[in-house]
Amino acid sequence: MDLLLKVWRQKDKKAKGKMEDYKVSGISEDSSFLEMLDILNNNLILEGKEPISFDHDCREGICGMCSLYINGRAHGPDRGVTTCQLHMRMFNDGDTIYIEPWRSKAMPVIKDLVVDRSSFDRIQHAGGFISVNTSGNSQDANAIPIEKNDADKAFDAAACIGCGACVATCKNASAMLFVSAKVSQYAYLPQGQVERKERVKNMVAQMDKEGFGNCTNTGACEIECPKGISIEYIAKMNKEYLSASISSEE
Instruction: Give the domains, in start order, of the chain with CATH numbers.
Output: 3-110 (3.10.20.30), 118-249 (1.10.1060.10)
> Could you read off the pLDDT of 154-170 as tens digits, one per residue?
999 999 999 999 999 99
What is the DSSP-derived secondary structure letter of residue 91? S
Q: What is the C-alpha separation between 25 and 21, in angstroms, rounded?
A: 14
Q: What is the C-alpha separation between 8 and 115, in angstroms, rounded?
A: 12
CB under 8 A, 24+ apart: contacts of 23-32: 25/1, 26/1, 26/2, 27/1, 27/2, 27/3, 27/88, 28/1, 28/88, 29/1, 29/87, 29/88, 29/89, 30/87, 30/88, 30/89, 31/87, 31/88, 32/59, 32/84, 32/85, 32/86, 32/87, 32/88
What pairs with residue 32 in β-bridges? 87
Those residues of the chain that have pLDDT short of 50 are none
Q: What is the C-alpha separation between 77 and 179, in angstroms, rounded?
A: 25
What pairs with residue 21 in β-bridges? 6
Q: What is the C-alpha separation between 175 and 165, in angstroms, rounded?
A: 9
Q: What is the C-alpha separation between 139 and 134, in angstroms, rounded?
A: 10
pLDDT of res. 250: 58
pLDDT of res. 143: 81
Q: What is the C-alpha separation between 103 and 70, in angstroms, rounded?
A: 12
pLDDT of res. 127: 95
Which residues touch 220 (CB under 8 Å, ≥6 apart)? 169, 170, 171
CB atoms within 10 A of CB 32: 20
